[in-house]
Structure 1
Amino acid sequence: MSVSGARAGSMETRHDVGYRLSALARVVELGPGRVDPALIAEAGKLLLRAGDRLKLSGDHTVVALAGGTGSGKSSLFNRISGLELSPTGVRRPTTARTHACVWGLDGAGPLLDWLQIQWRHRFARASALDRGESQLHGLILLDLPDHDSIRALTDHEADRLIQVVDVIVWVLDPQKYADAATHTKYVAELAGHEAVTVFALNQADRLAPEELAECVVDLSDLLKREGVQHPRIVPTSATTGRGVNSLKSVLAESVANRRAAIQRLEADVDRIMDRLTKVMPAPEAMAVQPTVDLARQEGLTDALCDAVGVPAVGEAMENVYGVRSIDWVGWPYARWAARLRPDPLNSLRLGNLREEIKSVTAASVSAQPAEVENAVQALADGLSSGMPEAWQNGVRDAARSQLNRLPQALSEELTEIAPRLDRVPGWWWLLKIWQYFLVVLFVAGVGWAGAIMLYGVFDIGRAPAELLGDVSALPWLVLMIVSVLGLGLLSAIASRNFVVLGAGKERDQLEREMRRRIGTVAKDMVIKPVEQELRRYNEFFASLTSARH
């Protein structure tokens, strides 16, 4: 592959890994409260590390030689670099600080600063020494401190760099290649990083060919059991130089491809995604409707209306409307006569019906907290069915986020539109004037008829006016009196029918307005938080899927 082709491929893979990292960043943003905080924190650290590495030189590949005490990695480091750069000897740990050898120093400074390699431990291959090794141009080779060092400082430094380098070369010796400190703490944890992991079975000169072959097979089987499906094992000898060129070829291939940094990040993302998938498996129906459907909204409104007692308020208002209308549109004579009759309810001591009804509607509307909670809970349970438990709890929490304020908000909202008991429709005034006009006519007619009887029929004296003694007008007066009575009764009956119709209309309008306001409150305090959580759920799993592939 040409250099230009390698760089084009590197840019493409950078775009791919950037897309996955963006998706993972969204998972980290949406995950708190739904995913283990430790896992979210680890993913956050990966994002920071990946962001830093992608901003630094993509023309350099960082390769770390890691291994335990006595594995000979410092000797191997010197053999690959061709210089005595890292101290070797019998003293342990020999390497107390990380040493770096750079092939092609231009642009490597910021990357070495990020790796926290001290200036006095940085070395560059001069062009005169690079003859025949141009394939290693862009290599940054690190000799890490022993990971099993008794010095806590060097052990921490080795752990830190193992997490950030592009390629790891595990230097193992024939006596301790199965050492648990290496395999349990590092190799098994980094399973899935095969593309950026190489195993150098060093000190091969100490073994006979048959023994070496047996060690390679045994090490390969061990690594496969730990999840490394296709381990790359290179037998080497820092003393004799055996296998060093083969190891250089492996490193040169990584350098030429310019993909090791991306492959390392991809492997890190794969690892964190495997852990995220285990704790947060995708449900069968991954996406849910991001909005609460109209039927569920109507159901919540119905339940809240029942909790507030909208039907009872409407009925009470209708009763008050009917009872109060008697004082305004009823036939006065019937009303006066009713007052003279004893009320059987009084003997039962049930109180005044009017006052009872008045007290019902005069009080502020009050929502029942338990019924409100049940309505909200039913909505949340219906919407979260089939979700992972953490997200079911999230939907419930969102639905209940303002539950403490919801009953009071409903009560205050509906109290504002509670019917006014002292309100008198204008047509009641007209009917009352009409009824009393008929009363006046009736009284006038009876008085006129009485005067005719006294002056015209019984002739008790001289009539003050001719009409008061005109007997011929008497039949017409009786007809008028009867007509007034009939007209008054008909007016009362018609008025009562109008009152019933008006009361029903007023009740419908009141209940519609109360329902509308309850729906608005439910939308603002329950539906919107739930829909926000549903969108968060959809986006989380969409991002999880994008970051996984």
Structure 2
Amino acid sequence: MTASTTDVQYGLGARFAALTRLVELGAGRADQATLAEAAQLLVRAGDRLRLSPDHTVVALAGGTGSGKSSLFNAISGLELSPIGVRRPTTARTHACVWGLDGAGPLLDWLQIQWRHRFARASALDKGESQLHGLILLDLPDHDSIRALTDTEADRLIKVSDLVVWVLDPQKYADASVHRRYVTELAGHDAVTVFVLNHADRLSPEDREICVADLRELLSKEGVDGPQVVVTSAVTGEGVDDLKAVLAESVVRRRAAFQRLEADLDRLMSPLTKDVADLSSVEPAVDGARREGLTDALCDAVGVSAVGEAMENVYGVRSVDWVGWPYARWAARLRPDPLSSLRLGDVKDEIRALVGSAVSAQPAEVDNAVQALADGVTQGMPEVWQAGVRDAARSRSGELPATLSDELSQVAPPLDRVPGWWWLLKIWQYLLVVLFVAGVAWAGSILAYGVLKVGPAPMEILGDVGLLPWLGLLIVGVLGLGLLSGMASRNFVVLGAAKERERLERGMRRRVAAVAEEMVVAPVEGELRRYNEYFAAVAAASRK
């Protein structure tokens, strides 16, 4: 095998590897008929490349009366294919092999019956060594009325390395040939040869006209620079020219690769056209869209509402700890306006708020997911945009419930009493004790020192001179109590805001984690699939 042939084989192998990946990635996205055809081509290419690379399969195809069987016999130098007047003349494919060694598996793959295989063992003795490695097939007439032979001709035309179309001068413009075969083989110029047979029936002028007309017709069918050989199986005219064409293909050992390459080019043409104006997309969802999705999901599940409720609960609960005791005692004499909050179990209250917020907003969750999918699919084909949207919604049914379950675990630690609440409560009750002690002391002085109800048990309990100082003590204690109560309320507000911020941060982290797992990851998987498909199309199309 020559170096150039090896290069072609390796390049073709890389392209078919890309085609394999394309078929895998394109399922449900690309045209299914095209993918099915690509899968068939992969199977055919794998089989052909596995079989003898030293043989070139050349098919003589043509309609009834074109003289291809006569031409087959003329090339082989033997009467191998039957010639007669009954139509169709050729009912089964006949094969003539120059160099039988290693050709058996290939002939089996071509489904050539044993009784229709012939070997030219003496080819080297006749000076035809240049044809060594040729497998020449005489196909059934393509326009046969027998469905079996018609199907066999179609099959072998698709798998042959080189197709030689044998045309009758009287009907070379036959629509059945051009519509069913020539148009389909456009782009296969290197592996297609056209033979204008029965040249003995034409005058030199008519021959030139027919050849020119045939070339023009083929050009209109998309065949660029068609190779046309004029022959006559009766007189032998042009047979050597045709043998030279076949010999060139056999010697170069490239026809099999060129045929597969042409088949691949034709297959890739509509696929490359579909993506010609497209480019790859960023495979990762950017940070701004991730944040946007998290924000939207947080709004959908009511994170702010839960945080606000928690902040209110925190403030109400602090009243029992940091409020001025006298104010609390006075408030107890009035009906409790907070009884409707049902604060017996704060964690259960918060979990209930979270759960109700999530389950009530499925439409907003779906809108958030839709917005992300729309944002990352700009410029993609509609079928791939739909794929990204489907991936984004692939777990949308369980998304609200998952968010609810996750967020219900984020309960604020309100059963834990902050240390400064304890210190403030001790300080306030110390002031209460001082206030009570001061009032009792002042009452004792009034009783014993002013009203003289009896002798004072102790001198200081009847010393009237201490009354002004006791008054200042009582007023000071009351002032300190009120000031500490007011200050504590400010600290409670700040503490409640920090607890709300902590809760919302924790909820947001959980929302972001759920969004990453259930929305972002599937979307990025589909974006990577699109980029890999795009790269596979480019690789399979590269020559």
Matched, 1:216 2:244: no
Further displaced range: 467-476 or 382-391: 467-476
For residues 142-185 of structure 1, the C-alpha deviation after alignment (integer angstroms, 9 at most, x for no partner) is 11111121221111111111111100001111122111111100
Which stretches in structure 1 are left out of the alignment for 5+ residues? 1-5
Write out aligned runs for 1:204-243 (5 A): 204-243=199-238
Matched, 1:98 2:87: no
Shift of 1:430: 3.0
Matched, 1:478 2:471: yes
Matched, 1:380 2:361: no
Shift of 1:385: 1.1
Partner of 2:284: 291
Shift of 1:440: 2.4
Partner of 2:26: 31
What TM-score do the two structures reach when normalised by structure 2? 0.94
* Alpha-carbon distance in 2 for matches of 1:504, 1:126: 98
Matched, 1:246 2:241: yes
Write out aligned runs for 1:4-403 (5 A): 7-127=2-122, 130-278=125-273, 280-284=274-278, 286-340=279-333, 354-355=341-342, 361=350, 363-365=352-354, 366-367=357-358, 368-403=361-396
* Alpha-carbon distance in 2 for matches of 1:135, 1:61: 12
For residues 64-111 of structure 1, the C-alpha deviation after alignment (integer angstroms, 9 at most, x for no partner) is 001111211111111101111111111222222211111111221221
Shift of 1:199: 0.7
* Alpha-carbon distance in 1 for matches of 2:124, 2:420: 111
Partner of 1:525: 518
For residues 195-251 of structure 1, the C-alpha deviation after alignment (integer angstroms, 9 at most, x for no partner) is 000011111112222222211111111111111111111111111111110000000
* Alpha-carbon distance in 2 for matches of 1:330, 1:288: 60
1:439 to 432, 435, 453: 432
Matched, 1:490 2:483: yes
* Alpha-carbon distance in 1 for matches of 2:351, 2:415: 10
* Alpha-carbon distance in 1 for matches of 2:328, 2:276: 74
Which amino acid is the alignment partner of residue 283 of structure 2?
A: P
* Alpha-carbon distance in 1 for matches of 2:523, 2:259: 39
Which amino acid is the alignment partner of residue 253 of structure 1?
A: E
Change (3 A) 1:522 1:342: closer
SS of the aligned residue for 1:237 comes to coil
Which stretches in structure 2 are left out of the alignment for 5+ residues? none
Partner of 1:548: 541
* Alpha-carbon distance in 2 for matches of 1:296, 1:245: 71
Task: Tell me the C-alpha RMSD between the 2 structures.
Answer: 2.1
Further displaced range: 470-479 or 405-414: 470-479
1:514 to 507, 514, 536: 507
Matched, 1:413 2:406: yes
Shift of 1:330: 0.5
* Alpha-carbon distance in 2 for matches of 1:356, 1:84: 106
Change (3 A) 1:354 1:442: farther
2:493 to 489, 500, 512: 500
Which amino acid is the alignment partner of residue 442 of structure 1?
A: F
Whether the 8 Å contact between 2:351 and 2:409 is mirrored in structure 1 is no
Which amino acid is the alignment partner of residue 325 of structure 1?
A: S
What TM-score do the two structures reach when normalised by structure 1? 0.93
For residues 273-304 of structure 1, the C-alpha deviation after alignment (integer angstroms, 9 at most, x for no partner) is 112234x23334x0111111111111111111
Which amino acid is the alignment partner of residue 307 of structure 1?
A: A
* Alpha-carbon distance in 2 for matches of 1:290, 1:128: 60
* Alpha-carbon distance in 1 for matches of 2:76, 2:532: 49
Which amino acid is the alignment partner of residue 113 of structure 1?
A: D
For residues 348-373 of structure 1, the C-alpha deviation after alignment (integer angstroms, 9 at most, x for no partner) is xxx86745997974524133111111
Shift of 1:130: 4.3
SS of the aligned residue for 1:163 comes to helix
Whether the 8 Å contact between 1:283 and 1:386 is mirrored in structure 2 is no
Which amino acid is the alignment partner of residue 277 of structure 2?
A: P
SS of the aligned residue for 1:142 comes to strand
* Alpha-carbon distance in 2 for matches of 1:107, 1:483: 116
* Alpha-carbon distance in 1 for matches of 2:198, 2:255: 27
Shift of 1:44: 0.7
For residues 104-152 of structure 1, the C-alpha deviation after alignment (integer angstroms, 9 at most, x for no partner) is 1122122112111122211111136642101101111111111121221
Whether the 8 Å contact between 1:316 and 1:360 is mirrored in structure 2 is no
Whether the 8 Å contact between 1:398 and 1:530 is mirrored in structure 2 is yes
SS of the aligned residue for 1:363 comes to helix
Which amino acid is the alignment partner of residue 198 of structure 1?
A: V
Give aligned-pair identity as a percent: 72
Whether the 8 Å contact between 1:149 and 1:155 is mirrored in structure 2 is yes
Whether the 8 Å contact between 1:66 and 1:171 is mirrored in structure 2 is yes
Which amino acid is the alignment partner of residue 544 of structure 1?
A: V
